[in-house]
Amino acid sequence: MKRRQFLKTAAGGAIGAVAAPYISLAQAQTKTIRVSRLPWGAINSCTTALMIKDKMIEAAAGEIGFKASVEWRDYPAAQPSVEGMRADALDIGLWGNTPVIRSVALNMPISMLLLGEGRLNFQICVRPNSPIKNLNDLKGKRVGTLLGADPHFFLSTVLGAYFGDPNPAAHNIQMVQVPSFAQAATMPEGIDAVSIITPAYLKGVADKRLVKLVDNYGKTGAAYDGPEGKGADIQLPQFKKSAFFPESFYLHRTIWMTRNKFAQQEPQSVEAFVVAHERAVKKVAAMKPEAAAALANDFWKVDPKEGAVIVQDDLLYRRSWGWLTEGDLSGLTVNSKTMVDAKILQSPIDMEIIKKNVSPVQKIAKSAYDRLKHPAAAEFTRPDQDIRGKPFWEL
């Protein structure tokens, strides 16, 4: 081969080698990622709104080296997501404590991946001018909520701290299923009180349909009149008996889950979701609470100034990150014991069971963290903010 021919051939080969990754990405088959969220909940409504608007998962996928198409599905509660994941019809979904613990206890092939929300406030509420004035008055009454969801177990933990037994039936309290928190906030006929989350509570107050009795932070509402005093903002002494004092009666953690099969077959897709979520959390945490709340207005339907309360309360807004920590996961073991006491779960889970659950996604999460380097490593183990610990990929 002549020298001129050789140089021309070599140059063409070099150009092809450089261009190949670009051509491969441009021509690659688009990978679909099916994600369910809970936009009537708390801060996940803000973070996912940002992820959808700015196509953050798609952008992260491009950085990692593939094309993604994201299908978002909105559910008022976790159960449809649980069913979708079990049927391989969803890839990633946001679940509350209760379905997460059940899934882990049953050894379902679905792993905990990230925090979606935390420290959400819950409220036990009654009608304006209700004869129910304190927790003793709940005995013999009908309380509406989404059975098996976090507000149900918030009520159980309050009863456990206040009376020594978390089972509503032990106090002649009948739990009544209400299809959604929005409906619960209307105080349907046939129930005497409701246990709900802050977005629904604020809407119910704005509509003058309900008044707070007690919340997850151990504070009384305007409806309260009992041995400890009358009116709002009394700190109940029984709050100190909570296993999660001083954070809350009930340790709330809403968790992003992913199918193990999906994580095994499409680890880059899972990593793209994690990277996008953490960037969204960081952006939301940098906003003023009112501006962040405005992102969720289509679902919360409250004034952003009121919605700012939801944002400020949330653990992810306070942390500016959503990585799971040893402390977050250990809280699930305590909550599982409450579920056993309330006759909802047969046996509690422990940290060994939890470690087995997260093992399929630990390397994926660590890879995502290495891309972002947020927060600094020391933030994970700060003892002065909330229940933390080393990141779960180090377990």
Shared domain for 275 and 334, answered yes or no, is: yes
> Mind listing the pLDDT tens digit for each residue in 13-62?
333 333 334 434 444 689 999 999 999 889 999 999 999 999 999 999 99
- Is the predicted pLDDT of residue 75 greater than 60, yes or no? yes
CA torsion 385→362→60→316, rounded to 10°? -20
Shared domain for 59 and 164, answered yes or no, is: no
Q: Is the N-terminal amide bond of 128 cis, ω within 30° of 0? A: no
- Is the predicted pLDDT of residue 215 greater than 50, yes or no? yes
Between CA 248 and CA 34 the distance in angstroms is: 33
Residue 9 lies in a domain: no
- Is the predicted pLDDT of residue 9 greater than 90, yes or no? no
Shared domain for 386 and 275, answered yes or no, is: yes
Q: What is the mean pLDDT of residues 124-149?
A: 95
Q: Which two tokens stand for residue 351?
A: 């940290």
Of 185, 214, 241, the residue that ends a domain is: 241
> Mind listing the pLDDT tens digit for each residue in 221-258?
999 999 999 999 999 999 999 888 888 898 888 999 99
DSSP string of 73-138? EE-SSSHHHHHHHHTTS-SEEEE-HHHHHHHHHTT-SEEEEEEEEES--EEEEE-TT-S--SGGGG
Q: How far is CA 177 from CA 81, 174, 339, in A?
A: 19, 10, 17
State the pTM of this model.
Answer: 0.81
The number of CA neighbours under 13 Å toward the Cβ of 383 is: 0
Residue 269 lies in a domain: yes
With 0-12 CB in 10 A as exposed, 13-18 as middle and 19+ as buried, what is 305? exposed
Residue 370 lies in a domain: yes
Between CA 67 and CA 276 the distance in angstroms is: 14
Shared domain for 298 and 191, answered yes or no, is: no
Shared domain for 157 and 278, answered yes or no, is: no
Between CA 22 and CA 8 the distance in angstroms is: 22
Check: CB of residue 96 under 8 Å from CB of residue 171. no
Shared domain for 389 and 258, answered yes or no, is: yes
Check: CB of residue 117 under 8 Å from CB of residue 43. yes
> Mind listing the pLDDT tens digit for each residue in 376-392?
999 999 887 788 999 99
Count of domains observed in the chain: 2
- Is the predicted pLDDT of residue 5 greater than 70, yes or no? no
Find where tokens 């619960």 sit: 184
Residue 20 lies in a domain: no
Q: Percent of the chain having pLDDT more than 90?
A: 73
Of 187, 215, 241, the residue that ends a domain is: 241
CA torsion 47→72→201→157, rounded to 10°? -90
Position 8 confidence tier, pLDDT thresholds 50, 70, 90: very low
Shared domain for 183 and 227, answered yes or no, is: yes
Residue 86: give the domain boundaries: 25-118+252-394
Residue 62 lies in a domain: yes
CATH of the domain at 135: 3.40.190.10
What per-residue confidence (pLDDT) applies to 341? 76
Q: Is the N-terminal amide bond of 375 cis, ω within 30° of 0? A: yes
The SS3 assignment for 216 reads coil
Q: What is the mean pLDDT of residues 277-286?
A: 98
Find where tokens 């199918």 sit: 259
Of 175, 206, 241, the residue that ends a domain is: 241
- Comparing 313 with 4, the larger pLDDT belongs to 313
Shared domain for 225 and 276, answered yes or no, is: no
Residue 162 lies in a domain: yes
Residue 152 lies in a domain: yes
Residues listed for the chain: 395
Shared domain for 342 and 282, answered yes or no, is: yes
Between CA 175 and CA 155 the distance in angstroms is: 10
Residue 298 lies in a domain: yes
Shared domain for 233 and 365, answered yes or no, is: no
Shared domain for 328 and 197, answered yes or no, is: no
Shared domain for 271 and 352, answered yes or no, is: yes
Average pLDDT, the chain: 90
